[in-house]
Amino acid sequence: MFVLKNAWRSVVRNLGRNILIAIIVAVIAAAATIGLAIRNSAETARRDGLNSTTVTATIGLDRDKVMQQAQQGTSSGSNDKPDVDSMREALNQDALTVSEYDKYAKASSVPVTTYYTETTSVNATDNFQPVESSSSASTDSSTQSGNSDSSGSTGNAPGGQPGGEGGENGSGGGPGGMDSGDFSLVGFSSDTAVANAANGTFTMSSGEVFDYESDGKAIISQALAQFNGLNVGDTIEVADLSGSDTTYQLTIVGIYKNTSSSDANARGPKSGTSSDADNAIYTSVNTLKKLGLAVDESSSSDSSSSSSSSATSASRTQLSYSYVLASKSDYDTFTTDLKKAGLDDNYTVSSADVENYETSLIPLDNLAKFALTLLIIVLAVGAAVLIVINLFNVRERKYEIGVLTAIGITKVKVVAQFVTELLIVTMIGIALGVAGGAVASVPVSNQLLAQQVASQQSQQSDRQAQFGRNADMPDAPGASGSNENSSSASSSDKPSTDGKPGNDDQRGFGKAANYVSEINATVSFKVIGELIAIGLALTLISALVGVIAIVRYEPLQILADRS
């Protein structure tokens, strides 16, 4: 009690000096509050952002790794040209089948749901034609006739993707001169697969969606139905890509309307009609199996069809398989489980959700690093200032120390009194600093974050300028991030020319990201606890010099020097 009373009296008696110390501590605490609030919000956003929403994952071949291994295995010197044939052979790995994908799903120790689509290309018949203009029709027919005798390898090779995804080679202009087809025939495994259709979202205008266990039922776009004068209940006939007499019959059970449609002709005469969203025929995976167009069937028939001079629809079937997990932590666990289950090292597990969210957090991560640097500088400077002030304080009160020790007060109590004085002033300063920092943390942090976002967008503009692109060119929508402590926004998002994400011809140069541009950097109990710990540390560090001086003082020598 003696120590506490004397400490309080000394604080009041030396009010001017202690007010100065309190102001210094308050400034330090305010800056530390803002820095800690920013870092706490960044950690919360990273931890909880994807843990509160589902994550979609896929398995894909690591092409860079496979080609690097193939090149290392064939090159004898650093100046040797790559062995293209060896790298092609290395890339020609068997694609995973549906059963293999299912096996990895069962190997997961966390809950996982799956969905997949199988996409192939088919040709038109006399009674069923794709939506196209007369100019593209004449071009397509002439191109197809020119390629009717062409030969090329078939199978599930990348780049031969149905729907014209491989590039500008469309109908009659596919890889190796192969026909990419007039329609894309897509088989879905479930409603989830339909909801994630590559051609975009759609709504039913008449009829109903097919049953996934059904055989031969399909839905077509409203534009395709109008172009051919078809209604629900009619039967359509499509032809195999091989150019033989093989045809497939499907019953229309529903007609859908695309919420976003792509005009293939707007991208040139060679873009192909199968790449037009209106020329997509949707059915079930079971229907593709019945028709012999599913991936498993096409894989088993690859050896027999390899000698054929033209590609069949079955050999061109592409499988897209996705895993849906409850959170980012489940995704990490799932990735580890797949490696344990024997997934080849040449395959990688990836998630566009995770990658996009990581991209959206770049400005926030940069701000968190800046906040940490600022916090370290402020604490270092503040500690140095407090040490100097406390050292002068002890020297000014040297005679008081001598008197106290001379009348029998132990040096331990004297040290405790000085530390208590400094602790009282420090805690008052911290309380004021926390109050001020709490008020300023949200606007200041959001202003700093806006500067980071502007910096990232400026870097994107600079990269576009390096390629001679205009800074205001249309950007393809990129990553988006949102969480309970932040909301995302991007001033640079612009719709693509055809209304569909990623269809812009210049999307590689102008891919915009929806960066996290606002955070709720409020002061939590965690931040207050950290500030109290910082205050105690500053008190002990700044009092250390005074403690050493007090311990070294001799009371009789102090009084003798004073007299």
Which has the higher per-residue pLDDT, 500 or 59? 59
In the predicted model, what is the mean pLDDT of residues 59-82? 70
Give 180's pLDDT tier (boundaries 50, 70, 90).
confident
In the predicted model, what is the mean pLDDT of residues 42-69? 79
Q: 322 pairs with which residues across the strands?
A: 115
Average pLDDT over all residues of the chain = 74
- Measured over the CA atoms of residue 90, residue 315, residue 163 and residue 343, the dihedral's sign is negative
121 close to 255: Cβ distance less than 8 angstroms: no
* Contacts (Cβ under 8 Å, ≥6 apart) of 53: 327, 353
Q: How far is CA 469 from the centre of its chain?
A: 25
Phi, psi (deg, nearest 5) at residue 302 = -60, -40
Q: How far apart are CA 190 and CA 208, in angstroms?
A: 14
Q: Is 163 left (phi over 0), alpha (psi -120 to 50) or beta?
A: left
Whether the predicted model's global pTM rises above the 0.85 cut: no
pLDDT tens digits, one per residue of 292-330 = 888 865 554 444 444 444 467 777 888 999 999 988 889
Q: How far apart are CA 476 and CA 492, in angstroms?
A: 10
Give 277's pLDDT tier (boundaries 50, 70, 90).
confident
- pLDDT on residue 463: 61
74 close to 86: Cβ distance less than 8 angstroms: yes
Q: How far is CA 341 from CA 104, 108, 334, in A?
A: 7, 9, 10
- pLDDT on residue 481: 39
Q: How far apart are CA 401 and CA 415, in angstroms?
A: 9
pLDDT tens digits, one per residue of 499-514 = 333 333 333 444 455 7
Phi, psi (deg, nearest 5) at residue 188 = -110, 150
HSE, CB side, 13 Å, CA atoms: give it for residue 128.
Answer: 26
- How many CB atoms are located within 10 Å of the residue 541 CB? 16
Q: How far apart are CA 261 and CA 200, in angstroms?
A: 8
Q: With residue 284 as reference, give the H or E element that holds it.
A: strand 280-284
Provide the b/e sequence for 188-197 (b: ≥16 CB within 10 Å): bbbeebbebb
258 is written with which tokens?
């695309």
Which has the higher per-residue pLDDT, 191 or 480? 191
Give 225's pLDDT tier (boundaries 50, 70, 90).
very high
